[in-house]
Amino acid sequence: MLTLKQSRRLQSVVVGTLSWAVALLIFFPIFWMILTSFKTEMDAIATPPQLFFAPTLENYLHINERSDYFSFAWNSVLISFSATVLSMLIAVPAAYSMAFHESRHTKRTLLWMLSTKMLPPVGVLMPIYLLCKSMGLLDSRIALIVIYTLINLPIVVWMVYTYFKDIPVDILEAARLDGATTFQEIGRVLLPIARGGLASTMLLSLILCWNEAFWSLNLTSSAAAPLTALVASYSSPEGLFWAKLSAVSTLACAPILIFGWISQKQLVRGLSFGAVK
């Protein structure tokens, strides 16, 4: 029999090993992608796969020659940030009213909003494509911004709603008695208290927009095409070039990964600062 101390120790070793294993498993494809991006095409398809090789930058140079990376990246940045800001502008008042002025229909509205996420996007591809076409919005950033705003809105509203629900309504009532208008109540009391939650919601929305591929591939070609479209453009006609595909994917992921990594520290700080009770 193990003593209590020994069994606790064993437990922590087992849990630690397991978490590392899961973390590595999740990280492995990204690691392999980055690794492959520095291989020659021959090394990339070699069997058995090579862990050690002579690294090269030729894939990145090739991409730089063939396509205008920064134009795609700028589109991604512009579309993701605009869609995120727009959805927050809609979500904050919506979540405020649902969290603090609940009506009989609030719960149903929330569920209905979420249910729209269950519809496969391809189901509305044709009408949306035709709408964009007749409005002259094919290959335009505006179309993507509007669509991303709307498809992420249910999740954004839900998240903001959940963060708002954690804030005691007393605090807002105190502000109301102190003479705050509804805008002051939201702007000077509610938002500062919820800022940690709002920041994580915005980060999630940014990531979702950044990685969205279905609509960007179907509705853009060049002028408004974001990084996802750039990646896709490397995957077809001349056959698969693993190394170049990996390099372009790495370039597509890098900005949002770095942004997420930097803001993570702010987020943790923001979340603990928001503590109300």
Partner 1 sequence: MADLSIRNLQKGFDGHAIIQGIDLDVRDREFVVFVGPSGCGKSTLLRLIAGLEEVTSGTISLDGKDITDLAPAKRDLAMVFQTYALYPHMTVRKNLSFALDLARVDKATVKAKVDNAARILELERLLERKPKQLSGGQRQRVAIGRAIVRNPKIFLFDEPLSNLDAALRVQTRLELARLHKELKATMIYVTHDQVEAMTLADKVVVLNGGRVEQVGSPLDLYNHPANLFVAGFLGTPKMGFLRGTVGAVDGSSCEVQLEAGAKLTLPRQACGQKAGASVTLGVRPEHFNIVPAGEGQLQVVADVSERLGSDTYCHVRTANGEQLTIRVRGDFGPAYGQPLELAFDTAHCHLFDAAGVAIDKRSAAEQAA
Footprint on this chain of partner 1 (rule: CB under 8 A): 168, 170-171, 173-180, 184, 188-189, 192-193, 273-276
Q: How far is the CB of 176 from partner 1 (least distance, A)?
A: 5
Q: Smallest distance, Å, CB 103 to partner 1?
A: 11
- Asked if residues 274 and 196 have their Cβ atoms less than 8 Å apart, the reply is yes
The region that residue 212 occupies, defined by phi over 0 for left and psi between -120 and 50 for alpha, beta otherwise, is beta
Distance linking the first and last C-alpha atoms of the chain: 44
Tokens of 34: 């980055």
What's the rounded Cα separation, in Å, for the pair 193 and 191? 5
Residue with smaller CB distance to partner 1, 221 or 266 = 266
**Cα 230 from Cα 173, distance rounded (Å):** 50
In whole angstroms, how close is the CB of 197 to partner 1 at the nearest point? Answer: 13
Structure tokens at 116: 């729209």
Measure the CA–CA gap between 113 and 92, rounded to whole angstroms. Answer: 15
**Neighbour count for residue 91 (Cβ, 10 Å):** 25
222 secondary structure, DSSP code: S
Give 68 or 102: the residue with its C-beta nearer to partner 1.
102
Quote the least distance from Cβ 92 to partner 1, whole Å: 16
Cβ at position 102, least distance to partner 1 in Å: 12
Q: Kindly tell me which of 103 and 116 has the beta carbon lying closer to partner 1.
A: 103
C-beta closer to partner 1: residue 88 or 189? 189
State in angstroms the smallest separation of the CB of 107 from partner 1. Answer: 15
Residue with smaller CB distance to partner 1, 172 or 243: 172
CB nearer to partner 1: pick between 68 and 178:
178
Q: Using CA atoms, how far apart are residues 50 and 28, in angstroms rounded to an integer?
A: 14
Q: Where are the alpha helices (DSSP H) in 101-226?
A: 106-115, 125-134, 141-165, 169-177, 182-184, 191-193, 195-211, 214-219
Q: Which one, 183 or 261, has the nearer CB to partner 1?
A: 183
CA-to-CA distance for 207 and 227, rounded, in angstroms?
A: 13
Q: Which residues contact 50 (CB under 8 A, 6 or more apart)?
A: 39, 43
